[in-house]
Amino acid sequence: MGLETFIELNRTFVKYSQDDAQDASGDSIEHSDALGLKVIDDLSWDDLFEKRRVVILAPAGAGKTSEIRKAAIKLRSKGKSAFFLRIEHLSDNLDGAFEEGDVSEFEEWLKGNDEGWIFLDSIDEARLKSPYCFEEAVRKIATTLKPKKQSVHIIMTSRIEAWRRKTDLDLCNKQFEYILPQEKIAQIGDRTIS
């Protein structure tokens, strides 16, 4: 389905808690796990835009690619720095990975102080190319984003069965580390954030 026929579904998302990931004995998420997740919140796209690091897990054909491309277009139409990239192309060269935005806009954004959104699609497609393609791509984009790690929002997609909930989460937490600013910690007090 092309974006010219995109139908806004006002999709909502549920949060898979870090406790669920840490309690996991293995790397795979079974479909029964995905259906039995503890629902913490119903999150909208606007909620996701506020988060610093997000992985969207859904079955094949759920519309992940169309949804995140449209999300990037929506932010760009509001004058925000937002980029949609294919993970499987990142390991080859950065220029060829952009499908919304381009490398020159990206480099300009890197030089500035504005926050930005990076939409990375799709972990499962990267793994089809090579078992190590996802890890290489994450390391490459993380190195590029290092000066902006505190001001970038990263949203990735994957089929449920392709996401390795322990090793992939560990890789992303390490490479896309976000340190909560002290003033945010003070504002939060006893509340838990994500």
pLDDT for 21-46, tens place per residue? Answer: 445 455 544 433 443 444 456 888 89
Confidence (pLDDT) at 193:
46
Number of domains in the chain: 1
Confidence (pLDDT) at 179:
86
Domain that holds residue 163: 45-179
Q: Which of 145, 150, 78 is nearest to 111 (CA)?
A: 145
Band (194; pLDDT cuts 50, 70, 90): very low
Q: Does 30 map to a domain? A: no
Q: Which of 86, 88, 114, 122 is nearest to 101 (CA)?
A: 86
Average pLDDT value for the chain? 83
Q: Does 191 map to a domain? A: no
Region 63-75: mean pLDDT is: 95
Higher model confidence: residue 74 or residue 13? 74
Residue type, 107: E
Confidence (pLDDT) at 181:
75
Residue type, 95: D
User: Does pLDDT of 72 surpass 70?
Assistant: yes
Q: Does 169 map to a domain? A: yes
> What are the backbone angles phi and psi of residue 2, rounded to the nearest 5°?
-80, 165
Percent share of the chain, pLDDT over 70: 75
Q: Does 37 map to a domain? A: no
